[in-house]
Amino acid sequence: MDIGCKVLVFFTCFLTVTAEIYIVTMEGEPIISYKGGDNGFEATAVESDEKIDTTSELVTSYARHLERKHDMLLGMLFVEGSYKKLYSYKHLINGFAAHVSPDQAEMLRRAPGVKSVDRDWKVRKLTTHTPQFLGLPTDVWPTGGGYDRAGEDIVIGFIDSGIFPHHPSFASHHTTVPYGPHPSYKGKCEEDPHTKISFCNGKIIGAQHFAEAAKAAGAFNPDIDFASPMDGDGHGSHTAAIAAGNNGIPVRMHGYEFGKASGMAPRARIAVYKALYRLFGGFVADVVAAIDQAVHDGVDILSLSVGPNSPPATTKTTFLNPFDATLLGAVKAGVFVAQAAGNGGPFPKTLVSYSPWITTVAAAIDDRRYKNHLTLGNGKMLAGIGLSPSTRPHRSYKMVSANDVLLGSSGMKYNPSDCQKPEVLNKNLVEGNILLCGYSFNFVAGSASIKKVAETAKHLGAAGFVLVVENVSPGTKFDPVPSCIPGILITDVSKSMDLIDYYNVTTSRDWMGRVKDFKAEGSIGDGLEPILHKSAPEVALFSARGPNTKDFSFQDADLLKPDILAPGSLIWSAWSANGTDEANYIGEGFALISGTSMAAPHIAGIAALVKQKHPQWSPAAIKSALMTTSTVIDRAGRPLQAQQYSETETVTLVKATPFDYGSGHVNPSAALDPGLIFDAGYEDYIGFLCTTPGIDAHEIKNFTNTPCNFKMVHPSNFNTPSIAISHLVRTQTVTRRVTNVAEEEETYTITSRMEPAIAIEVSPPAMTVRAGASRTFSVILTVRSVTGAYSFGQVTLKGSRGHKVTLPVVAMGQRR
């Protein structure tokens, strides 16, 4: 917005400047950490892993006090109408978001009582068969009373693009036991502004939207973004159904059923906090407000399929900014947070989730793959992908190229080979034949879609279609797309050349190049049935990789990320009828899409099952159970592999490392009974920050309202179920504390192994841990040779009663 010349306090004159959104943090503690002493207000602080009692008069009165202070500061500095306050943050951080000019932001920085002023930055989305793949129906759901009790009374909050409440995955009647009132959740339900019907139904227990920053920035369009929790994108409905969608929902498209969909915790409640939008993603000010509200309302789990577009402009460290500080407050309040690792793989240091209090989730390819083939008239069989029925068996069809069946010169305005406009193609020449189309950059950019190709071919009466990829950029990802008629995408350029050569040789033309006779023939196979692979799971090509970084100079952190691997490739789940995020699924009820966005809600749903069984466990305990019981072996018994680029830029498989998968692929049944856990609380997180070199203690206090403690000595001593040392000089001893959460005493044998450049020892070699008791052990790492690369290993604790706990170890030896 433009602000004309106005006389403000301090007689400051702002001349036609553009306002921006800033997040301001204030002196004075937020509700979660306030210990009393401010104007007679009594303490509201909670212990680590304890929920905020937002019904308490102490909490509500202190909240009003903080908001009044925010308003007073703005009112003293600026003339009314020259600024707009968007949110007051009171529960997890003390501050506010405001739409002000850069000069006004500078005045705020200098104002008494202000600790930091951060210009807002954008975030983006990090875009079924998996319950069976993960063993939930047979090994996990029965332990909680069956699928109709799996996740009972656990509330999962989704910071995403909203929800399509009319989808059967979210129907409250699709259950044998009706949903009653929740015993503790206090969130509200917005109504659809057009129908006046609530978005909630018992299954969906809360639904709110946050768009003040988006509106102030001029990015919000109510016609497509919806000023309500309605999902105008599809992404939010997809992630919510992965975590907590109803069980046994038929996935039907184009008359074919691809199976039954289910969430990981089908009885869990869904709380929607819409802060992401179709065209622009979202703003951190809106996301922080959504997180703050979710914790206030009493969610148990937060699922975040969102990450920053770019680093915050004013913070030096990855761990300290309004977004991560708010999530630290959420974890202090006992909320487990799962966040997508990011989709920047397979390149190193591409993570967008950094902090130790967050569970960072990488994406795996599961055992289900879809393939198809095109058989040419010369007998050659070309592999491709396409979720479609076959052409009629034992019959071949003529193939006609879109470029050869144009209606005059009408198609020259467009790219006719894209096959997006049936009106530019000659139906008489296409009808009954297979239409050949070209896969251009328009498909990558989103202005063309395979769905539209299928509709064009069907409209023209074609027997099927073939999309030919003639050139491809490294990293282009091809996913199979359901089709209403036989269709296939030939993704291998060499196979595409075989098809083009065959077509050109068999097609006779006159001296002007016009076709005299189409003689190329082919038939399309059945691509509807999946093929199950024993090589699963594998780390997906797009999944972001470590090492983790501690600052935006990309210096390595002494903390392993990602934390864990979960299914994230080709995931069937619910879609919004209004969803426009994927051109191939516009108007559909389900979508098959990939991304770490799909992996994070798998972990959120499985965490709900763990919390249901162990309601008193801290977020760190749940995270530990998931990590220490994960597997680094695939279904064929081999070490996990990761998709990677070869020297020729083709996709190949290499041996995966902890920088690809963290601790390994999630194993839900084992996570319910881990034996030992590595627990941590708020003071441990502060200790990690305080002992990380390069982080200023004053900055830590600004964001956490907590003075530094240095008892941890080194950040690698943070009690997490992994060990990472980025700068190992000579010898370093790392300590870990384990707690026996089993019902009986157990003796554990501790062993270790490491690649040759680093020597590893453990002490003691064995220990007995009573039920409910804790014991400490040490890991000693010594540099043998400096290689300039990380060495990988693991520590294993094997129990006498069958429990097994594994920690990944990564270290790089340095001379000094």
Of residues 789, 812, 787, 788, the one with CA closest to residue 728: 812
Beta bridge partners of residue 739, listed in sequence order: 677, 774
Of residues 290, 113, 283, the one with CA closest to residue 187: 290
Contact 249/261 with Cβ under 8 angstroms?
yes
Give exposure, 161-180, as e/b (b: 16+ Cβ within 10 Å).
bbbbbebbbbbeebbeeebe
How buried is 343 (Cβ within 10 angstroms: 0-12 exposed, 13-18 middle, 19+ buried)? buried
Structure tokens at 221: 């369009």
How buried is 193 (Cβ within 10 angstroms: 0-12 exposed, 13-18 middle, 19+ buried)? exposed
Beta bridge partners of residue 200, listed in sequence order: none
Beta bridge partners of residue 565, listed in sequence order: 362, 665
Pairing of strands 641-645, 651-655: antiparallel
Q: What angle do CA 472, 478, 482 make, to 5 degrees?
A: 140
Of residues 250, 247, 277, the one with CA closest to residue 263: 247
Instruction: List the catalytic residue out of 49, 120, 153, 160.
Output: 160
* 184 catalytically annotated: no
CA 365/CA 363 separation, integer angstroms: 7
Instruction: Determine the residue type at 815.
Output: R
Q: Which residue carries 């203690």 as its tokens? A: 697
CA 444/CA 351 separation, integer angstroms: 23
DSSP assignment of 670-695 equals HHTS-SEE----HHHHHHHHHHSTT-
Q: Quick one: angle between helices 619-628 and 596-613, nearest 10?
A: 110
CA 681/CA 551 separation, integer angstroms: 23
Which DSSP helix (H) or strand (E) runs through 330?
Answer: helix 322-332
Q: How many residues does the chain have?
A: 816
How buried is 320 (Cβ within 10 angstroms: 0-12 exposed, 13-18 middle, 19+ buried)? buried
Instruction: List the catalytic residue out of 33, 101, 355, 597.
Output: 597
CA 361/CA 566 separation, integer angstroms: 7
CA 264/CA 334 separation, integer angstroms: 21
Contact 314/28 with Cβ under 8 angstroms?
no
CA 422/CA 456 separation, integer angstroms: 5
Q: Quick one: angle between helices 102-110 and 57-77, nearest 10?
A: 120
* 535 catalytically annotated: no
Contact 342/545 with Cβ under 8 angstroms?
no
Instruction: List the catalytic residue out of 99, 167, 235, 665.
Output: 235
* 209 catalytically annotated: no
Q: What angle do CA 803, 808, 809 make, to 5 degrees?
A: 135
For residue 346, say if its preceding peptide bond is cis, omega within 30 degrees of 0: yes
Instruction: Report H helices in 141-234.
Output: 212-216, 222-225
Catalytic site positions: 160, 235, 597
